[in-house]
């Protein structure tokens, strides 16, 4: 009888999931939604994001043999959803991906985003790692990239940007990578390089070892935060969560930590464990100053309760101070030694998820910071989140990043509420409201104290092969701004179209209209099975002041991202190609050009055109 009932439910889930819109099921569409959801463009490390998502796409997570740490890599999943997936797999292993519909906390759109990164496999016990297997069955990836950037502006200098990357991965247990790059216009002395290695579960109680470039994150990020964080986003599931623990950092931009770290784990049951982490980092901040970091963390998890204690000690070889003294940086840290200590807690159960963190940072006066919030699921298809934060003026920690209106946490008091509603068929409503207060001066703000707000709402209507959305935003941070975005998407067979209209008003107006056309010759419904994909955009804009600039995500070569600040009067176009030469070798090409109106270009001392060419070759074994 139970088998019959389960079979009927699976058939219903299959039919229901099969009728879901196709949007969001491709990796490109998921990355595009992440870009569009971020409201603070500068806070997101898109290169690291793409690296992680492509790695998960190439080696999907086995839902029957996974962990909370592995699922945390999918940032759109909340801690509640991660626990529900693990609990479901523990009670009765997944037989089909359609069983995800039986997890109440997962909405249809989240299942669509989840599908490219997960698979169903058998549950296998932990096995010893043998060197011969590591090298025989590992995945290898080699990337060579060369760009010619802003060709018209480089008179007599080299406009070439060069990058090379290598990545070695064995079942996410042994990961190694190295990369180097040279900025456009730079010489050999400006060459940036880095390497990393990460080992997981290679010995009893030795859970993670990292070396080289890595990142560390615990709690809400008041003490240590990852390089990748989404900041304020339309996706309320990302509010109050972070990828916790140690992990490699694959970018060569000099960010992150540089040293070694290790996590020891004692696990008594599947739901009770203790993690102890230690780390050391050393990096040069300028020609004469080195920054040393020593840190430790204790994490206790029992069922759905998690408690953490984190402490770091920063040591500089020379006294540091802001580049120049100004009113806005009067509370920034000055000195050679700084201690930061924090404690955090999280509890999720049933229809709510509560989280909090408090921290103190050594300064001329000890600074204090606190953040507390909760996520609610009062009814099926309804998600709500509320968050309050207080960061005292003397709290300053350059390695931390928590939910904030600014990129540097400190001197802020605010409250945030958000909602995501999918109760009605084909409709999705989401948005947030945030009110904040700065007691002292802030960079770019004309006066203090400052009271501001940020409110955004979006409505989407989704059908099988098309969707339409409207987003409105009002913001006051020094000066009042308002903006709107309307978007229409259509996809069928190998074709997909997207029309995006943007408008804003900040003392003056800015408008933009963009049309995207894409065709995938390898689509199952394509008439021509050619290993080629094409992405094309035509855009016109009239945003004559910098304050009216418009950000719109553009397709680029693999692991690259392009979100230019479009302003002025003119037009922009690009074409992006992907050619899978053989299964192990792919070529990516992108040509973009911006053309400005002659009068505007002359008034602003800009060249009439700007041309960029990107070329990337990827070999994967």
Range of the domain at 546: 493-621
Kindly provide the b/e burial profile for residues 437-466, where b requires at least 16 CB atoms within 10 angstroms of the residue's own CB.
ebeebbeebeeeebebebebbbebebeeeb
Q: Where are the alpha helices (DSSP H) in 139-276?
A: none
Q: Please report whether residue 619 resides in a domain.
A: yes
Residue-wise DSSP of 496-564: EEEEEEEEEEESEEEEEEEEEEEEETTSTT-SS--SEEEEEEEEEEEE-SGGG-EE--B--STT--B--
Residue 277, pLDDT score:
96
SS (H, E, C) 414-480: EEEEEEEECCCCCEEEEEEEEEEEECCCCCCCCCCCEEEEEEEEEEEEECCCEEEEEEEEEEEECEE
pLDDT band at 14 (very low <50, low <70, confident <90, very high): very low
- The answer to whether the beta carbons of residues 400 and 409 sit under 8 Å apart is yes
Q: State the total domains in the chain.
A: 1
Question: Measured between alpha carbons, how far is residue 240 from residues 391, 407, 416, 555, 594 in Å?
Answer: 16, 16, 11, 29, 39
Give the tens place of pLDDT for each residue, 59-114. 888 888 888 778 887 877 877 788 888 888 888 888 888 888 888 778 777 788 88
Residue 74, pLDDT score:
82
Q: How far apart are CA 182 and CA 324, in angstroms?
A: 29
Residue 479, pLDDT score:
84
Residue 440, pLDDT score:
87
Q: Please report whether residue 342 resides in a domain.
A: no
Contacts of 95 (CB under 8 A, 6+ apart): 10, 120
Q: Where are the alpha helices (DSSP H) in 202-301?
A: none
Q: Please report whether residue 323 resides in a domain.
A: no
pLDDT band at 231 (very low <50, low <70, confident <90, very high): low
Contacts of 615 (CB under 8 A, 6+ apart): 145, 146, 147, 557, 587, 588, 589, 590
- The answer to whether the beta carbons of residues 163 and 252 sit under 8 Å apart is yes
Question: Measured between alpha carbons, how far is residue 88 from residues 59, 146, 615 in Å?
Answer: 22, 46, 45
Q: Please report whether residue 9 resides in a domain.
A: no
- Residue 380, exposed/middle/buried by CB under 10 A (0-12, 13-18, 19+)? exposed
Give me 39's structure tokens: 């409201």
Give the tens place of pLDDT for each residue, 342-357. 999 999 877 888 999 9
Give the tens place of pLDDT for each residue, 468-521. 999 999 999 878 899 999 999 998 878 889 999 999 998 889 999 999 999 988
- Residue 528, exposed/middle/buried by CB under 10 A (0-12, 13-18, 19+)? exposed
Q: How far apart are CA 530 and CA 590, in angstroms?
A: 19
pLDDT of 206 over the 70 cut: yes
Which residue in the block uniquely carries the two structure tokens 């070798």? 585
Distance between alpha carbon 344 and the CA centroid of its chain, in Å?
22
Residue 41, pLDDT score:
53
Q: Peptide bond preceding 123: is omega within 30 degrees of 0, i.e. cis?
A: no
Taken in order 391, 393, 395, 401, the sign of the CA dihedral is positive
Q: How far apart are CA 277 and CA 292, in angstroms?
A: 17
pLDDT of 24 over the 50 cut: no
Backbone phi, psi, residue 467, to 5°: -155, 155
Global pTM value = 0.85
Cα first-last separation, the chain: 47
Backbone phi, psi, residue 524, to 5°: -55, -25
Region 165-180: mean pLDDT is 90
Q: Please report whether residue 212 resides in a domain.
A: no
SS (H, E, C) 326-353: CHHHCCCCCEEEEEEEEEEEEEEECCEE
Give the tens place of pLDDT for each residue, 424-436. 888 989 999 999 9
- Residue 376, exposed/middle/buried by CB under 10 A (0-12, 13-18, 19+)? middle
β-pair partners for 160? 148
Residue 92, pLDDT score:
83
Query: In this predicted structure, which of 320-324, 345-349, 447-451, 607-611 has the lowest mean pLDDT?
Result: 320-324
- The answer to whether the beta carbons of residues 416 and 386 sit under 8 Å apart is yes
Residue-wise DSSP of 274-315: EEEEEEEEEEESSSS-EEEEEEEEEEEEETTEEEEEEEEEEE
Q: Please report whether residue 155 resides in a domain.
A: no
- Going by the DSSP 8-state scheme, the letter that residue 325 receives in this structure is -
pLDDT of 201 over the 90 cut: no
Q: Please report whether residue 170 resides in a domain.
A: no
- The answer to whether the beta carbons of residues 338 and 365 sit under 8 Å apart is no
Q: Please report whether residue 459 resides in a domain.
A: no
Contacts of 339 (CB under 8 A, 6+ apart): 311, 312, 313, 314, 361, 362
pLDDT of 7 over the 50 cut: no
Higher pLDDT, 132 or 503: 503
Which residue in the block uniquely carries the two structure tokens 């523990």? 90
Residue 606, pLDDT score:
82
The count of other CB atoms within 10 Å of the CB of residue 614 is: 22
């Amino acid at each position: 009888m139970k088998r019959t009932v389960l079979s009927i439910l699976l058939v219903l889930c299959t039919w229901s999931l099969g009728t879901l819109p196709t949007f969001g099921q491709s990796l490109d569409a998921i990355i595009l939604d992440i870009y569009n959801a971020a409201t603070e463009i500068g806070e997101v490390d898109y290169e690291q994001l793409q690296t992680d998502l492509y790695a998960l796409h190439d080696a999907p997570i086995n839902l029957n043999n996974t962990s909370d740490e592995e699922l945390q890599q999918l940032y759109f999943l909340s801690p509640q959803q991660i626990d529900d997936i693990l609990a479901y797999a523990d009670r009765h292993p997944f037989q089909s991906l359609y069983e995800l519909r039986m997890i109440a906390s997962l909405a249809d759109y989240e299942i669509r985003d989840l599908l490219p990164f997960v698979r169903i496999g058998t549950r296998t016990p932990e096995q010893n790692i043998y060197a011969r297997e590591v090298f025989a069955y590992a995945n290898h990836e080699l990337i060579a990239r060369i760009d010619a950037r802003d060709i018209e502006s480089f008179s007599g200098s080299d406009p070439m940007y060069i990058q090379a990357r290598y990545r070695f991965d064995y079942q996410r247990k042994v990961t190694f990578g190295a990369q180097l790059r040279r900025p456009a216009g730079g010489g050999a002395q400006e060459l940036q390089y880095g390497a990393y290695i990460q080992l997981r579960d290679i010995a009893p109680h030795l859970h993670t070892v990292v070396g080289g470039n890595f990142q560390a994150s615990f709690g809400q990020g008041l003490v240590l935060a990852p390089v990748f964080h989404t900041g304020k986003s339309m996706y309320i599931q990302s509010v109050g969560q972070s990828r916790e623990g140690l992990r490699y950092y694959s970018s060569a931009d000099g960010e992150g930590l540089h040293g070694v770290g290790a996590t020891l784990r004692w696990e008594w049951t599947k739901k009770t464990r203790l993690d102890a982490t230690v780390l050391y980092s050393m990096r040069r901040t300028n020609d004469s100053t080195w920054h040393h970091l020593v840190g430790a963390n204790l994490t206790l998890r029992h069922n759905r309760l998690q408690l953490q204690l984190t402490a770091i000690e920063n040591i500089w070889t020379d006294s540091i101070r802001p580049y120049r003294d100004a009113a806005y940086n009067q509370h920034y840290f000055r000195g050679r030694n700084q201690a930061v200590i924090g404690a955090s807690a999280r509890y999720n159960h049933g229809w709510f998820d509560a989280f909090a963190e408090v921290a103190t940072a050594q300064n001329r006066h000890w600074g204090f910071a606190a953040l507390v919030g909760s996520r609610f699921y009062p009814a099926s298809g309804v998600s709500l989140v509320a968050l309050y934060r207080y960061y005292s003026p003397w709290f300053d920690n350059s390695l931390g990043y928590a939910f904030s209106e600014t990129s540097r946490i400190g001197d802020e008091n605010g409250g945030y509420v958000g909602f995501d509603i999918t109760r009605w068929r084909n409709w999705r409503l989401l948005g947030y409201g945030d009110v904040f207060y700065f007691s002292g001066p802030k960079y770019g703000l004309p006066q203090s104290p400052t009271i501001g707000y940020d409110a955004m709402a979006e409505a989407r209507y989704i059908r099988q092969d098309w969707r339409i959305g409207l987003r409105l935003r009002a913001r006051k941070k020094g000066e009042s701004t308002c903006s709107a975005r309307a978007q229409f998407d259509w996809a069928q067979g190998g074709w997909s179209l997207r029309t995006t209209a943007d408008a804003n008003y900040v003392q003056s107006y800015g408008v933009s209209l963009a049309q995207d056309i894409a065709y995938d010759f390898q689509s199952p419904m394509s008439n021509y099975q050619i290993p080629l994909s094409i992405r094309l955009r035509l855009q016109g804009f009239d945003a004559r002041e910098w304050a009216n600039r418009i950000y719109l995500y553009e397709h680029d070569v693999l692991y690259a991202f392009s979100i230019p600040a479009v302003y002025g009067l003119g037009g922009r176009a690009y074409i992006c190609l992907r050619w899978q030469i053989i299964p192990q070798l792919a070529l990516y090409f992108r040509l973009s050009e911006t053309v400005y109106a002659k009068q505007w270009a002359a008034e602003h001392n800009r060249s009439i055109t700007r041309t960029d060419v990107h070329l990337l070759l990827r070999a994967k074994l």
